[in-house]
Structure 1
Amino acid sequence: MKLKGLHSVHFLGIGGIGMSALARWFNHVGIPVSGYDRTPSPLIEELVREGMQVTFDDLVEQIPARVRENKANSLIVWTPAMPADSPQLNYFRDNGFELQKRAAVLGMITKDMPTIAVAGTHGKTTTSSMIAHILKHTGKNVAAFLGGVTQNYQSNLILHDEAKGQATVVVEADEFDRSFLHLHPDTAVVTSVDPDHLDIYGDPDHLVEGFQKFIALIAPKGRLYIQSNALHKIEKPNKSLAVISYGINSGKVKALNIRPKAGAFIFDYQDENCALEDIQLGMPGFHNVENILPAISIALTMGVKPQEVKEAVSSFKGVKRRFEIHVQEEGKVYVDDYAHHPEEIRAFLSSVRAMYPHYKLTAVFQPHLYSRTRDFAKGFSESLSLADEVLLLDIYPARELPIEGVDSAMLLEDIGSANKSLQTKENLLDYLAKSKPELLVTIGAGDIDRLVGPIANLMKTYEN
């Protein structure tokens, strides 16, 4: 099926953040959109305001007639979260409609548009958001499907201008469930190839094999930007592919002279043709300085002027739950981050230390997935040891059932911090109210984000 021939798109599970972004894109390009979801939400209300038809009754008669009567030119986008006995889902299956998951539909979009795809076991949401922002800020016609909500646009979707003709699409290439193998990149970024998602891949070698297959999808004479430490893990799939390594003090594209300060990092950029001094990045972190290197290089390659690139970088406000500073006052600082892998935690805590070297650092960590906690227990303990005090919450199970013998307590013994303890979400605020931490960070990809607002409000009330 080709997108240009579509008459209608119907979404089963339209209210999810990734699905709703796809729905808004199809609506933006003029294809009628409808959908079903179980419960109303502010996100769905926004879709309805934009002209989309949404029902909360999983009934065949709620499917618009234009969809039912034009099977050949209707696309059904569905999520595996739909129950197996769903009347709408089974109607579409029984009647031979084209059903595709979100990843495959993103692949269809990238086949028709020049595409920059960002992959990596960490950093892909931030890096793809940085690329999209620099291009958008400097006047390039760009669409972006991102894995997080950007602070500049308060959305995980950036829409292109249809009237300007051909647009470039920036997409986050997710290795989970091998979703990134549906994409058709002209330019790709690989931020890291550290072991992760071993519940999907089985072992690190098969994860690397997955990335190798993704890189093989890059168009002939395309470009691959790859972080220096990941370069040795990947074989170049064809002679015409341009491979550009990047890193801090290493690679063809590098960051030099990095100067952390409260709330920002300042650095110099250098590639084989260009040098930019005193770039200010308001999204702190050594890892975020590294993440923005391919974004700068891609923009320069696309003809953006160096001074415009510097201005765009300085205007980037970051991504929600990625090094998000909620409190920064004399004697007390609170930062929240989505980190859920040992290497991400190491990079995050090292950067926090560099920004606030004289503060006692307290880290609250909620492990994500039983399998990940089991597979990387030693790594978690070592990276968390960068904090002066570590507070561990229960594991967030996400899609998994409990694994016998795997819990947060198994991390405690190998954590080298002077103070360490197990806490519950219910008693955490009381503990923090009594201990009054100077520099507090919350870390994790589960539902720890529900505590961010209450913790920030608490910290604003007490004095150190």
Structure 2
Amino acid sequence: MTTSIAPLDSLGRVHFIGIGGVGMSAVARIMVARGVPVSGTDAKDLPVMHDLASAGARIAVGYHQDNLADAQTIVAGSAIRADNPELAAARAAGLPVLHRSEALAATMAGHRVVTVAGTHGKSTTTSMIAVLLKAAGVDPSFAIGANVPALGVNAAHGTSDIFVAEADESDGSFLNYRPLIAVVTNVEADHLDHYGTPEAVFASFDNFAALLPADGVLLACADDAGARALAERTASQGTTRVLTYGTSDDAGIRLFDGGPGAVSVAVGDKVHRVELQVPGRHNALNAAAAFAVAVELGVEPEAAAAALGHFTGASRRFELKGQGRGVRVYDDYAHHPTEVRAALSAARSVAGGNKVHVLFQPHLFSRTREFAKEFAEALDAADTALILDIYAAREDPVPGVTSALIADQLATGRLVAAGEAVDALAAVAHDGDVVLTVGAGDVTAYGPVIVEALGG
């Protein structure tokens, strides 16, 4: 999907179709802050649209071709169908239509760009980098695929020449960016509905690393086999510098993870303690990546390590929703087996010797079909695993593919109807236990309801 990127000042009035989405609103927010005339629409009236209207964007609810008005460039969200009246009218009028990533790339021009890619951990790591830099006295522009409590928003125009952005590999659009520093947290087979084969996924990351200039750097996680292999392949090309981070002895940035309160990172022989407020080995690795980026950008190591203590998490990334009867309820966006394992590992560390109960909603028929066995193995780490029906998102049903493909392989779990999920969890959870809602769909809405059922 590589393309030439238009300069921001050449876009004219920009109209966003689907402006309420977290990724779309991020780009729109930055454009408005930079003086670009922006308009946008969405099917629903969402809070972020009011924020954008207050900032100066022209916002409408509902799709109609008249909403295009005097727009000169169109940005369409990935969920927008070809028969959307605004998109159809734009194409009929011959207006340029940009993918969200192309619009974001236009806002990056003239900046030192840091992109974070990987099958998992992108939003959290990007958030950590932005929070760290701001706490260390740097004011970056940033665009993140999740709201970040410590930042108050998911995107902003900063005063420095640094731009930090999450780079989404799901549809290959991360190839539209031109980073100076590229972080790769991990590389696994996923989004096979787009790529077709694992080999095509790995090749796309090779192409991503190849975007780096001679004075750039690839920061790859040495603890992940896919990212390590990418680092080795990139280093063999000799065209850009490669630096690894992780617990491995040969990592350039060493992570020492003794659990909560005992996390530190090392550059050379100098060890720096990190006051990390989020649990789990995966978050410790994300913190090591953020530390490495900051040091590459000239932040003193001591200041970088201290600044990580300001990160309190990202929305839907092991986010505490509340508690009742001594039971803590968390929500996590995990939708790949590796992410589910990481979320449950974090829940175990928080629960101590108490039990962990999970409500999981599979995301996409294609992903459920490909990874049913792996999902079941990951979910069996919970004491109770309840499985909802598949959240279809953009896909049509696939014959024979249901949540039973996962549930039938579970040792400690079962399918549960939406109407009985809350009562079932409230019945099994006791003082000190952790309840975790997991998935990329609307399972997130269950968290507050579970808290209420627990008397919280």
TM-score (norm 1): 0.89
Any conservation in 2 of the 1:149–1:319 contact (CA below 8 Å)?
yes
Any conservation in 2 of the 1:106–1:182 contact (CA below 8 Å)?
no
Q: Provide Cα deviations, 1:35-92, integer angstroms capped at 9, x if missing partner.
A: 3334433221221111111234655554444x4xxxxxx3221235445455543443
In structure 2, stretches of 5+ residues that fail to align are 1-5
In 2, the alpha carbon distance for the partners of 1:386 and 1:442 equals: 14
**Secondary structure class of the residue paired with 1:326:** strand
Structure 1 residues 249 and 267, CA, compared in 2 at 3 Å: closer, same or farther?
farther
Any conservation in 1 of the 2:205–2:230 contact (CA below 8 Å)?
no
User: In the alignment, which residue of structure 1 is the partner of 2:229?
Assistant: 232
Any conservation in 1 of the 2:325–2:454 contact (CA below 8 Å)?
no
Asked which structure has the greater CA Rg, the reply is: 1
Pair 1:432 & 2:432 matched = no
Q: Provide Cα deviations, 1:173-202, integer angstroms capped at 9, x if missing partner.
A: 101110101111110000111111111111
Q: Percent identity?
A: 36
Mapping of residues 3-82 of structure 1, within 5 Å = 3-56=8-61, 58-59=63-64, 61-65=66-70, 67=71, 74-82=72-80
User: In the alignment, which residue of structure 2 is the partner of 1:108?
Assistant: 106
Structure 1 residues 393 and 182, CA, compared in 2 at 3 Å: closer, same or farther?
same
In structure 1, stretches of 5+ residues that fail to align are 68-73
User: In the alignment, which residue of structure 2 is the partner of 1:270?
Assistant: 266
In 1, the alpha carbon distance for the partners of 2:60 and 2:329 equals: 41
Any conservation in 1 of the 2:110–2:161 contact (CA below 8 Å)?
no
Structure 1 residues 446 and 299, CA, compared in 2 at 3 Å: closer, same or farther?
same
In 1, the alpha carbon distance for the partners of 2:213 and 2:396 equals: 40
Pair 1:368 & 2:363 matched = yes
**Secondary structure class of the residue paired with 1:149:** coil
Mapping of residues 262-341 of structure 1, within 5 Å = 265-272=261-268, 274-277=270-273, 279-327=274-322, 331-341=326-336
Structure 1 residues 426 and 58, CA, compared in 2 at 3 Å: closer, same or farther?
closer
> Aligned to 1:178, which of 172, 177, 188?
172
Mapping of residues 155-170 of structure 1, within 5 Å = 155-161=153-159, 166-170=160-164
**Secondary structure class of the residue paired with 2:130:** helix
In the comparison of the two structures, how many residue pairs are matched?
443
User: In the alignment, which residue of structure 1 is the partner of 2:3?
Assistant: none
User: In the alignment, which residue of structure 1 is the partner of 2:393?
Assistant: 398
1:232 maps to amino acid: A
Any conservation in 1 of the 2:64–2:85 contact (CA below 8 Å)?
yes
In 1, the alpha carbon distance for the partners of 2:314 and 2:99 equals: 26
In 2, the alpha carbon distance for the partners of 1:84 and 1:351 equals: 41
In 1, the alpha carbon distance for the partners of 2:411 and 2:64 equals: 56
In 2, the alpha carbon distance for the partners of 1:114 and 1:13 equals: 28
Any conservation in 2 of the 1:222–1:240 contact (CA below 8 Å)?
no
Q: Provide Cα deviations, 1:367-387, integer angstroms capped at 9, x if missing partner.
A: 111111111111111111111
In 1, the alpha carbon distance for the partners of 2:81 and 2:399 equals: 28
In 1, the alpha carbon distance for the partners of 2:90 and 2:409 equals: 53
Any conservation in 1 of the 2:113–2:178 contact (CA below 8 Å)?
yes
1:207, distance to aligned residue in structure 2 (A): 0.4
**Secondary structure class of the residue paired with 1:421:** strand
1:104, distance to aligned residue in structure 2 (A): 1.4
